[in-house]
Structures are given as C-alpha cells and as structure tokens.
Copies of this chain bind each other. A is one copy, B any other.
C-alpha cells in the first residue's frame, strides 16, 4: 500500500516555531514513527509553500498511490484550484488539520477541500496522520 502525505504552506516549520500550537515534534521524525508503525505501507511525503506545486503533486501522485492524506494548511480556506485538483483524483483523499480549525479564527472555519474528501479530521495534533492512515486502510479493505 502506497500512502502519499502532502503538507501545505508553512508546515515545513513544524517543530521549530509556534510550538504551543503545533507541538515541538519535527514532521520528519513523526514520519519515521509512522513507517515503523505500518511496515507494510510505503509512505511518500511532499511539502511545498507553492499552491501550484501542490496541485502538480496531487495530480502526479494520484497515479501511483492508493490514498492521499492532505493537510492543505492555509490553502484549505482559499484555494478553489487545490479543491479542483482533489476532485480530479480517483483514490481516496483524507483531510487532516493538526489544530481544530473550528476553534480558531472565523476565516478558518470554511474548508473548500472537505466536500471533495472521503473524510476529515481536525484537532488531534500529529496523531491525526495516524488516524488518517487507519481510516485509509479501512476504506481500502472495504473496497476489495
């Protein structure tokens, strides 16, 4: 099983800054932990601050993955184009946000991406990526 994790803008800063909000773990360390937890799965990872590169990667990776875990960060609320890219994808896409976006500023309450995803997870910290992997496995098993 190939799982592609895509992180959007500013998430390359995880572990370095605003630790009170996002915790102090680096995402690369967390990724190692995930790989140990699911040795049968291959995790591919991509992060970019550039909207169009995320769209490129969503398009490309959907050819070779069994599922995508997407944290579009700030683009969640503003990017019709990322949302369109998700629509064109045929494998399941799970939306993750580290913080609970419904607890934060008003403009973070709307997700343009959620309607195009299989499911959404908000507010579980980095553990949200593990839960999303669990959800993907369940969806893929039921498909067979």
Count of interface residues, chain A, beta-carbon cutoff 8 Å: 58
**Which residues of B are found within 8 Å of A76, using beta-carbon distances?**
80
CB distance from A44 to the nearest CB of B (A): 19
B-facing residues in A71-107 (Cβ within 8 Å): 73-85, 87-88, 100, 102-103, 107
**Which residues of B are found within 8 Å of A115, using beta-carbon distances?**
100, 102-103
Cα–Cα, bound, A28→B45 (Å): 32
Say whether, besides A52-B48, A127-B135, A81 and B10 are in contact (CB < 8 Å). yes
B-facing residues in A43-58 (Cβ within 8 Å): 48-53, 55-56
Closest 8 interchain pairs by CB?
A50-B52, A74-B81, A119-B123, A49-B52, A74-B80, A9-B81, A102-B114, A49-B55
